[in-house]
């Protein structure tokens, strides 16, 4: 995969997933655990209301930005 050939949205996903993979590895987790983690996130998404998830994510991200600034 050539990163430079990715469209903006796919590039964003690649970067965020790479950050998650690196963080999990830093925590001593394996590739299998990363895949299971991603699968669990997908399952959680399917079990919840999409608008509610977007609201919670926006609130949490804003809170994190305010705490880190």
Structure confidence by residue, pLDDT tens digits, 3-60: 889 999 999 999 999 999 999 999 999 999 999 999 999 999 999 999 999 999 999 9
- What is the per-residue pLDDT for 2? 87
Could you list the residue range(s) of the whole structural domain that residue 16 is in?
3-67
Res 69 pLDDT > 90: no
Written as six digits, the tokens of 64 are 């994190």
- Which pTM value belongs to this model? 0.73
d(CA 49, CA 56): 11
Res 1 pLDDT > 80: no
Structural domains of the chain, count: 1
CA torsion 30-34-35-36 (nearest 10°) is 90
DSSP letters spanning 2-37: -GGGS-HHHHHHHHHHHHHHHHHHHTT--HHHHHHH
d(CA 33, CA 21): 10
């Amino acid at each position: 995969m050539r990163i430079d050939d990715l469209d903006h949205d796919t590039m964003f996903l690649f970067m965020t997933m790479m950050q998650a993979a690196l963080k999990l590895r830093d925590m001593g987790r394996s590739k299998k655990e990363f895949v299971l983690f991603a699968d669990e996130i997908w399952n959680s998404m399917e079990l919840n209301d999409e608008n509610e998830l977007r609201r919670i994510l926006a609130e949490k991200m804003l809170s994190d930005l305010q705490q880190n600034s």
